[in-house]
Amino acid sequence: MIRTVATKPFGDQKPGTSGLRKKVPHFQQENYAENFLQSIFDAAERPAGSALVIGGDGRFFNAEVIRRAIRMAAANGVAKVIVGQNGILSTPAASNLIRQRKAAGGIILSASHNPGGPDGDFGIKYNIANGGPAPEGVTEAIYKRTQGISEYRIWDGDAPDLSVVGTSRLGDMEVEIVDPVADYAALMETLFDFGKIRAAIANGLTLRFDAMHAVTGPYAHEILERRLGAPVGTVLNGVPSEDFGGGHPDPNVVWAAPLVDLLMGPTAPDFGAASDGDGDRNMILGRGIVVTPSDSLAVLAANAHLAPGYAKGIAGIARSMPTSGAADRVAKKRSIGIYETPTGWKFFGNLLDAGKVTICGEESAGTGSDHVREKDGLWAVLLWLNILAERGQSVAEIVEGHWAEFGRNYYQRHDYEEVDKAAAEELMDHLRQRLASMAGQRFGTLVVSEADDFSYKDPIDGSVSTGQGVRIVFSGGSRIVFRLSGTGTVGATLRVYIERFEPDPARHDLSVEEALRELVETADVIGEIRKRTGRAEPDVRT
Ligand code: G16
């Protein structure tokens, strides 16, 4: 039986960079999750008879909201829902299922790399029929609906047991609970030379993968240990937990420090990697080297043809604006397209659908390809392994060889977290006001060649996104980018992205700190970061 429940709008349900993210207690307010879910059902396109995929990263509150989403789908005329067993689906696996099953879309419950648990973060994101995050037109329509909502519909009866794989019914709706790993692992086998990787591992290639107590554990156990024959113990922290073992499932040098220490130490394996809460991000390491996400994108793009799924070559590359220009140098040399988009995977969808690009990536530890419409952590790990197996070189040799061929983009991102929101917005406004007069100004040895607030016109549908980050470019190509994160849940997070290109191989062995020192100091002078945020140092450098 369908029950209609009266509700009132919440003013704060505007999706950010990647869906709606808030603290768990905020989501636990009466009707909060239901309002957003109903707005998705009302605003998103759903052809009659179509299916919806539902799953999440297993964090606290995941299973509860999935049961509610299933009951609401049954009350909103959805013909079928496809749900990951125990509510688990990594974000790329959900994207794959939407595509494979030709679903109308998917509801993904995740706050990605943000911490979990009763006081942690939670999120709801809607993906469209191509498997990718809803574009701004759709998220705007959902938001608009949240502002006028007066009731939601829910099936008055329990959702099926999420632990049992199989098909059942809830009212007129079919509920299929699926193994979350099987289809995804099968897709990976079509892209990579599993035989070659297995042989390399059998011949002594050693690796560790840190699943950070998050969703990739089951995927990594199946693919790396069972299918590729890596020894048991290769996957660390491989059992998903509701609070990620009390940690912060963000694969960077701060939050994955134990893995970094292992790779820098005397017992380092050849290759190390980690993924985040929902399995779409990745960190790549070799013995003695951390590969920046921007470099990883460039190396993967330059070598993708070594994997069977990309043997014909890649059509083009897309990167988010703050991501370093390393990939651009690969595109230029290979005469393929390069696209610069705003931050947010949703901006890659049209380019991938149109076949303009094959590989995409972001400085925020995301890389992926046209195999799904999300970034994909394990995909990046497998492509790296395929390249290592083909080239027979170490990670450091491959990266250093890449710099020698294409030049090195020294790069670092500084995050100032939980900054006072008004102060952060004033900092950005102050920068914007000065843009017009910046060109020609000198800071130490640096001279500004151009300064703007990035805006993007989608080449496929013509939609325009403005205010996507302040860029200060210096003669010689170095640059500083300032923007506010769209994924934080407390105050504001200021991100400052610093980059310097160095063509000369004789200067490729500087420390990043050394290479970027003057730019970092200049970022503070231009942005007045210390003065306006009260912070002497960033919280995280990635
Ligand atoms: C999301 C988006 C990414 C974006 C990242 C950081 O990743 O999907 O495209 O780069 O947030 O965004 P921001 O700088 O606005 O915080 P995830 O892994 O959190 O879903």
The pLDDT score that the predictor gives to residue 489 is: 77
Nearest CA owner, ligand 1 atom 6: 364
Of 353, 373, 406, the last residue of a domain is 406
Return the closest-CA partner of residue 334 out of 300, 384, 365.
Answer: 300
Specify the amino acid at residue 256: A
Q: What is the average per-residue pLDDT within 275-302?
A: 97
Q: How confident is the model at residue 476 (pLDDT cuts 50, 70, 90)?
A: confident
Residues 219 and 119 in one domain: no
| Pair 237, 268 in one domain | yes
Q: Ligand 1 centroid vs 112 CA: distance in angstroms?
A: 8
Q: Are residues 473 and 392 in the same domain?
A: no
Output the CA 498–ligand 1 centroid distance in Å. Answer: 18
Q: How far is the CA of 161 from the centre of ligand 1 (A)?
A: 32
pLDDT per residue as tens digits for the range 193-241:
999 999 999 999 999 999 999 999 999 999 999 999 999 999 999 999 9
pLDDT at 76 over 90: yes
The domain boundary, picked from 135, 165, 180, lies at: 180
**DSSP codes joined into one string, 447-471:** EEEEEEE--EE-TTT--EE----EE
pLDDT at 487: 81
CA distance 429 to 431: 5
Residue 76: both structure tokens together: 């909103």
**pLDDT (tens digit per residue) in 433-473:** 999 999 999 999 999 999 999 999 999 999 999 999 999 99
What is the percent of the chain with per-residue pLDDT over 70, rounded to a whole number?
100
Name the pTM for this structure: 0.95
Domain of 64?
Answer: 2-180
Residues 402 and 296 in one domain: yes
Q: Give pLDDT, residue 481.
A: 98
Are 290 and 257 in contact by the 8 Å Cβ rule? The answer is no
Contact 259, 208 (CB under 8 A): yes
Q: Which of 362, 417, 418, 490 for a ligand 1 pocket mutation test, highest count of atoms within 8 Å of Cβ?
A: 362
> Which contacts of 217-226 are long-range, i.e. CB under 8 A and separated by 24 or more positions?
218/88, 218/180, 218/181, 219/90, 219/93, 219/180, 219/181, 219/184, 219/185, 219/279, 219/378, 220/275, 220/378, 222/181, 222/185, 223/185, 223/188, 223/378, 223/382, 224/381
- Residue 358 has which token pair? 């094959």
**495 CA closest ligand 1 atom index:** 14
Query: Of the residues 364, 465, 484, which should be mutated to test ligand 1's pocket, given the most ligand atoms within 8 Å of the CB?
Result: 364
CA of 280 to the centre of ligand 1 (A): 10
Q: Is 112 a catalytic residue?
A: yes
Q: Which atom of ligand 1 is nearest to the CA of 19?
A: 20
Nearest ligand 1 atom to the CA of 347 is 9
pLDDT digits (tens, 9 = 90+) for 105-151: 999 999 999 999 999 999 999 999 999 999 989 999 999 999 999 99
pLDDT at 403: 98
Q: How far apart are CA 47 and CA 32, in angstroms?
A: 26
Q: What is the three-class DSSP state of 379? A: helix
In tens, the pLDDT along 345-401 reads: 999 999 999 999 999 999 999 999 999 999 999 999 999 999 999 999 999 999 999
**Residues 6 or more apart from 449 whose CB is under 8 A from it?**
439, 473, 474, 475
- Measured from the Cβ of residue 211, the count of other Cβ atoms closer than 10 Å reads 29
Shared domain check, 156 and 113? yes
The atom number, within ligand 1, closest to the CA of 483 reads 14
Statement: residue 488 has pLDDT above 80: no
**Are residues 369 and 413 both part of a single domain?**
no
Q: What is the average per-residue pLDDT within 75-89?
A: 97
pLDDT at 236: 98
Q: How far is the CA of 363 from the centre of ligand 1 (A)?
A: 9
Kindly give the distance from the C-alpha atom of residue 84 to the centroid of ligand 1, in angstroms, as a whole number: 23
> What's residue 486's pLDDT?
85
- Residues 139 and 267 occupy one common structural domain: no
How far is ligand 1, taken at its centre, from the CA of residue 158, in Å?
A: 34
pLDDT above 90: residue 501:
yes
**Whether residue 287 sits in one domain with residue 147:** no
Q: Which amino acid is at 373?
A: R
272 close to 288: Cβ distance less than 8 angstroms: no
Under the banding of pLDDT at 50, 70 and 90, the label for residue 32 is very high
Which atom of ligand 1 lies closest to the CA of 17? 15
From atom 3 of ligand 1, which residue's Cα is the shortest distance away? 344
Q: Residues 18, 39, 112, 294: which is the catalytic one?
A: 112
Q: Which residue has the least CA distance to atom 4 on ligand 1?
A: 344
Say how many Å lie between the CA of residue 213 and the centre of ligand 1. 20
Q: Which of 487, 495, 539 to probe ligand 1 with, by most ligand atoms within 8 A of CB?
A: 487
Q: Are 82 and 51 in contact (CB under 8 A)?
A: yes
Is the pLDDT at 490 greater than 90, yes or no?
no
Asked if 399 and 422 sit in the same domain, the reply is: no
205 with 328, same domain: the answer is: yes
Residue 495: which CATH number?
A: 3.30.310.50
Indicate if 417 and 442 belong to the same structural domain: yes
DSSP state letters, 298-339: HHHHHHGGGSGGGTT--SEEEEETTS-THHHHHHHHHT-EEE
Rounded to the nearest integer, the mean pLDDT of the chain is 96
Considering the chain, what percentage of its residues have pLDDT values greater than 90?
A: 96
Q: From 59, 122, 345, give the residue whose CB has the most ligand 1 atoms within 8 Å, as the site to mutate.
A: 345
pLDDT of residue 402: 98
| Residue ranges around ligand 1 (CB below 6 Å) | 17-18, 112-113, 280-281, 320, 343-345, 362, 364, 366, 485-487, 495
Q: pLDDT, tens digit, for every residue of 392-416?
A: 999 999 999 999 999 999 999 999 9
CATH no. for residue 148? Answer: 3.40.120.10
Contact 135, 8 (CB under 8 A): no
Taking CA atoms only, the protein residue closest to ligand 1 atom 17 is 112
| The total number of structural domains that make up the chain | 3
Q: Which residues of 509-527 are buried (b: 16+ CB within 10 A; e: fewer)?
A: eeebeebbebbbebbeebb
Residues 174, 198, single domain; the answer is: no
Q: With 90 as the cut, is the pLDDT of residue 165 above it? A: yes
- Residue nearest ligand 1's atom 14 by CA: 485
Spell out where 78-194 has E strands.
Answer: 80-88, 105-109, 121-128, 151-155, 166-170, 173-178
Which is the closest atom of ligand 1 to the Cα of 487?
Answer: 16
